[in-house]
């Protein structure tokens, strides 16, 4: 990427790729070569192969170099789709819907309670505008709490996704039970 790309929290921590990471990227590029949407497939595979489920700036630069896609296009795709992460994710990812139906049924309260229960400070979790996307990870890297604009499951509101499993009609007790199970290693 060019030096104009915004820095991320952990971007400086990994400025170079090792041989194994380059090999994984090269394999992903080969798998998706000459397919529609190849860039998205490559990004998805590379992120999935990363232990912390994120795309480093070094990986994005390497993908651009190897595919011939301009770095700005690679970065733009990564930041456009909420599927992609530029920062390391926790071992468990909890996504709270902030769509209208979920909001009117208490998702903001669920989010605030979740952040409180996980020991995330108000500064980290919270006085974000309703339209802002939240993505914070606990200091021990056990949990990442994210928000999404809408899961498209409005009839099931409020909706929370825990490690890619959709929970519907979530209340504080249900969410606390899920977090407790994850904390105790049962999920």
Q: Both tokens of residue 82?
A: 């909420």
3-state secondary structure of 76: helix
Check residue 10 and give its pLDDT: 43
The residues, ordered by sequence, that sit 6+ positions from 143 with a Cβ below 8 Å of its Cβ are 90, 91, 92, 93, 94, 118, 137, 179, 182
So what's the pLDDT on residue 83?
82
pTM, two decimals, is 0.73
Residue 13: its pLDDT value, please?
A: 44
Q: What is the pLDDT of residue 11?
A: 40
> What pLDDT is stored for residue 187 in this prediction?
55
Q: Which residue numbers in the chain have pLDDT < 50?
A: 1-13, 123, 125-126, 128
Burial of 8 (0-12, 13-18, 19+ CB in 10 A): middle
Q: How high is the pLDDT of residue 9?
A: 43
Residue 102 contacts by C-beta under 8 Å, 6 or more apart in sequence? 96, 150, 151, 154, 157, 158, 159
Q: Tell me what pLDDT residue 178 has.
A: 95
């Amino acid at each position: 990427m060019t030096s104009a790309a915004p820095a991320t929290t952990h971007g400086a921590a990994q400025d170079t790729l090792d041989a194994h990471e380059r090999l994984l990227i090269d394999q992903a590029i080969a798998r998706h070569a000459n397919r529609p949407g190849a860039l998205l497939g490559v990004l998805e595979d590379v992120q999935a192969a990363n232990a912390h489920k994120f795309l480093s700036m070094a990986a994005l630069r390497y993908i651009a170099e190897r595919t011939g896609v301009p770095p700005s296009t690679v970065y733009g795709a990564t930041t456009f789709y909420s599927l992609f992460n530029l920062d390391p994710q926790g071992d468990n990812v909890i996504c709270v819907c902030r769509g209208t139906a979920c909001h009117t049924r208490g998702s903001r309260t669920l989010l605030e309670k979740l952040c409180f229960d996980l020991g995330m400070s108000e500064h980290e979790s919270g006085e974000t505008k309703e339209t802002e996307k939240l993505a914070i990870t606990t200091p021990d890297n056990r949990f990442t709490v994210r928000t999404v604009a809408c899961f498209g499951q409005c009839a099931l509101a409020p909706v929370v996704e825990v490690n890619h499993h959709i929970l519907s009609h979530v209340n504080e007790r249900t969410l606390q039970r899920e977090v407790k199970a994850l904390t105790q290693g049962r999920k």
